[in-house]
A and B are shown apart, each in its own frame.
Chain A
Amino acid sequence: MSGNIKNSNLGGVSIAFQKIAVGVAFSPTAEAMLMETARLAQILSAEMLLIHAGNQTTDTEARMNEMIAKCDINGSLRSRLTIIWGKGDPVDVILDSCRKHYVDLLVTGALKKENLVEYYVGTIARKVLRKAGCSVLTIVNPSTESKSYKNVVVSAEDSTYIEEALSTACSLVPRDNGSWLHIVREVKMYGLTMAASDQHTEEEYENVRQGLVKQEIEKVEEILKDIPHEGFRINIKMVSGKSGFELPKFAQRKNADLLVVGAPPRRFSFFDRLFPHDLEYIFADLPCNLLVVRQSKYRKEESRG
């Protein structure tokens, strides 16, 4: 259930991530996290905020500067880098800093999978992911080697955020020299639809099945008409079943570097985990790096003054 579109020209769509923040602790992966964020800030010509939940002492400042130096953050990016120190619960420090500084994109590191208790109680990374009022990029295996997102999967699930997710993915892929964008969409209630088609002949039944897929591909193509998507290949893939569940499976099959999904600006609660929906399925077991595209609540607050 898929269709291919080949594009040639390189697009130049400006992306809305003007301020990128990263939460950093002095952990073994901190350096890699910082480098991943710096790479992104370079690509997107964005400001960079480094948030540390902990005391600001001469020692910690020195360690922080040493880490920044190791990460080769120089030139114009160094001038766009701000370090924020905050005391208290890391989740609160990170989220408060994002709000105060009108962050568009927050970068965090996370384990691929949480155990049952962690899933319901929530770890720092997942809490940030669920509560942030801006887009969040969760990096599963941060690396100190510069590695672009060549193979990106984006969810085209019917929602008010579909265009945000698609346009973000479409503008990120060419900037990062990506080659593939797989657009995944769910054929909603496929089983029920086919069950309701039991009064057809074999040929009609097959036509219904193919019609369902075709209809959804056309919907995606219709949305893509208004979004520049050049310089990379597009694969439109239809899945049946719960898209939030099928999406990570597809991303894993394709060895995707990044999965992009749209999300409502609201916080996710415990109830969401009890009755999981699309995003909670993905949060539970991250197939690769995950970019949750969310209209920044903080930006809105800024524009309201």
Chain B
Amino acid sequence: MGKFPHEAVVHLLIQLSVMILAARLFAEIARRLKQPAVVGEILAGVILGPTVMGMIQPEWFTTLFPTGAASGVVLSGIVQVAVVMLLFIAGLEVDLHVVWQQGKVALVTSVFGVVVPFALGFVFPYFFPQYFGFAENYSVFIFALFMGTAMSITALPVIVRILMDTNLFKSKMGLLVVSSAMIDDVTGWLIFSVILGMIGKGGHGLPLITTIIITLAFTATMLTVGRGVINRILPWINKNLAWPGGILSFSLGLCFMGASFTEYIGLHAVFGAFIIGVCVGDSEHFSERAKEIVHQFINSVFAPLFFVSIGLRVNFLTNFDLMLTLIIVVIAFVGKVLGCGLGTRLSGLTWRESLAAGFGMNARGAMEIILSIVALENGLINEKVFVSLVIMALVTSMTSGPLMKWYLRTSELGK
């Protein structure tokens, strides 16, 4: 291993300390305002980053986060690891068992919940790319594909929290919404993986069909053979190794291995982490307590680091485009509420329940931000689109709970 200069170590530790503390402070403020932690964490980054501190006290900003410094390189490495781990826990959250129990109903809901927002998100940018800040690095088709995917993704933890608040989590509607959101996530990341495979690294992308085959082959192999192998190793680990150290080391080691493999074969690392998360989380030997620990560990340390880094990377003020943001927010709302509403209606819920479910599933949260940052890093979108997508993710996450509650309350009053 290379030597890391003493000054850089100090610098890096200060950066981490400031980021984690600021994230916690603003997450607490968000919590008091009954908003998701991610809102506060992003805000912490915006304040520490070029948008606020960089404008008011540029020398503080450059001292704390100098460009090109060794500590900065290591910090971006840590943030990359954080993204991979966040996708790993997103995979852990996918409960194939619950999806299976819900069966066709969940499938119908999720198909509409993906197809309608995807179609809207694809059609408008495809025919009017100039209004969407098209970066011109890749074809309009790939750009539109990404925008479609960005519109169809969901934020499962936000949805779960909303359903818990409304006491609907274990209801028929709640389970339907959660299982559909799980299918949406898997579909969304599959499509996104194909897009990333198509654009490739340094512009050397794979043909569409090859990417689709690789993605599906990896997914199918992992969900059958891989899952079976994991399922046979985990009991041994549970029995012979220290708990929870053994299971955590194994699952995270596997996550990084899967991530490096997909990165190597031309898909993105996040996809490998996500699929490994699904496989590990689906094992009956990976206890719910272990899931809880992994979540707590990643959500409390790595997630804040990642979300603060978003604000550090981009100037949210200079890259803010009101019209673009409005268009994206409107498409996101219409696509998801309409799509999920239609899907749940066809699955047997009443119109009122369906639209309430649509509002609930509109939350994009952390997944949208991760999707956007990966797209930004790969030159698929520019900073303006990125800022608009982050704002859309925050707006949808902040409003879905109140809107769902408001709609359910109005429905109750109207009865």
Contact = CB atoms under 8 A, between A and B. Distances in A.
B288 A240 contact: yes
A117 interface: no
A240 B299 contact: no
A113 interface: no
Interface size class of B (residues with CB under 8 A): 20 to 34
A278 B100 CA distance: 10
B288 A241 contact: yes
Contacts of B37: 198-199
A237 to B, nearest CB: 15
Interface stretch (A81-89, A171-179, A184-192, A291-299): A184-192
A281 interface: yes
B96 A192 contact: no
Give the residue among B92, B170, B175 with the most A Cβ atoms within 10 A.
Answer: B170
Contact of B291 (A159, A188, A191): A191
Given A198-B299, A277-B100, A281-B284, A191 B292 contact: yes
Contacts of B292: 190-191, 194-195
Give the residue among A187, A192, A245, A275 with the most B Cβ atoms within 10 A.
Answer: A192
A274 B224 contact: yes
A277 B161 CA distance: 26
A195 B101 contact: no
Contacts of B160: 189, 192-193, 195-196
Interface size class of A (residues with CB under 8 A): 20 to 34
A195 B299 contact: yes
B89 interface: yes
B320 interface: no
A160 B37 CA distance: 38
A39 interface: no
A220 to B, nearest CB: 13
A187 B292 CA distance: 14
B31 interface: yes
Given A189-B178, A241-B284, A195 B289 contact: no
A195 B169 contact: no
Contact of A189 (B27, B95, B284, B289): B95
A240 B289 contact: yes
B300 A198 contact: yes
Given A215-B170, A241-B284, A242-B284, A195 B291 contact: yes
A217 to B, nearest CB: 13
Contact of B296 (A193, A198, A208, A275): A198
Nearest to B284: A245
A141 interface: no
B31 A191 contact: no
Interface string B385-407: 00000000000000000000000
A196 B161 contact: yes
Contact of B93 (A192, A208, A215, A246): A192
A191 B295 contact: yes
Contacts of A215: 170
Interface in B161-199: 161, 164, 169-170, 175, 178
Interface string A221-234: 00000000000000
B156 interface: yes
B409 interface: no
A197 interface: yes
A191 B295 CA distance: 8
B97 A196 contact: no
Contacts of B156: 192
Contact of B98 (A189, A196, A244): A189
Contacts of A278: 97
Interface in A243-272: 244-246
A188 B284 contact: no
Nearest to A281: B284
Contacts of B291: 191-192, 195
Contacts of A195: 89, 93, 157, 160, 291-292, 295-296, 299
Contacts of B139: none
Contacts of B170: 158, 188, 215
B238 to A, nearest CB: 12
A303 B31 CA distance: 59
Contacts of B175: 188
B37 to A, nearest CB: 6
A275 B223 CA distance: 9
B221 interface: no
A269 B161 CA distance: 36
Interface in B25-65: 27, 31, 36-37
A260 B228 CA distance: 27
A197 B284 contact: no
A129 to B, nearest CB: 19
A188 B101 CA distance: 12
A244 B100 CA distance: 13
B299 A191 contact: no
B287 interface: yes
24 contacts: A189-B95, A189-B160, A189-B178, A190-B288, A191-B288, A191-B290, A192-B160, A193-B164, A193-B169, A195-B89, A195-B157, A195-B292, A195-B296, A195-B299, A196-B157, A196-B164, A197-B164, A198-B295, A199-B31, A241-B288, A242-B97, A242-B284, A245-B284, A281-B284
Q: Which 9 A-B pairs have the closest CB atoms?
A: A191-B291, A245-B284, A195-B295, A240-B288, A196-B160, A191-B288, A190-B288, A242-B284, A196-B161
Given A191-B291, A199-B27, 17 more contacts: A188-B170, A191-B288, A191-B295, A192-B93, A196-B164, A197-B161, A198-B37, A198-B296, A198-B300, A199-B37, A208-B164, A240-B288, A241-B284, A241-B287, A241-B288, A274-B224, A277-B100
